[in-house]
Amino acid sequence: GFLHYVVTDCEFNSSKLNDIEYTESYYYNKLEIIRFSSSVGKFVGYTEVGIKNAESWNNGQEVINRRGEKERYCLNNVGIFTESALTKS
């Protein structure tokens, strides 16, 4: 069989928006094929298929949608993650 999955990640050192990086990585059979990083601001392909998809996605609505995810997804949850970690330590 084939395995396809997506990993979404928020890395942060503080709750300030400029200290947060949002990434969304697409994998196929354990090989990362394409990634969006908020610090780069666009999709980057790592395989032939990933490069083609990155070109297409960077010229469409996909890249515009991902650029807002750092604020929508990460910023809104950083406080929850931090609070949870501090109460358990």
> 32 lies in which domain range?
4-88
Number of domains in the chain: 1
Q: 30 — alpha (psi -120 to 50), left (phi > 0) or beta?
A: left
What are the angstrom distances between the C-alpha of 26 and each of 31, 52, 81? 8, 14, 24
User: Does the pLDDT of residue 18 top 90, yes or no?
Assistant: no
pLDDT for 36 equals: 98
pLDDT category, 13, cuts 50, 70, 90? confident
CA gap 34, 88 in Å, rounded? 35
Mean pLDDT across 26-31: 95
CATH code, 19: 3.10.320.10
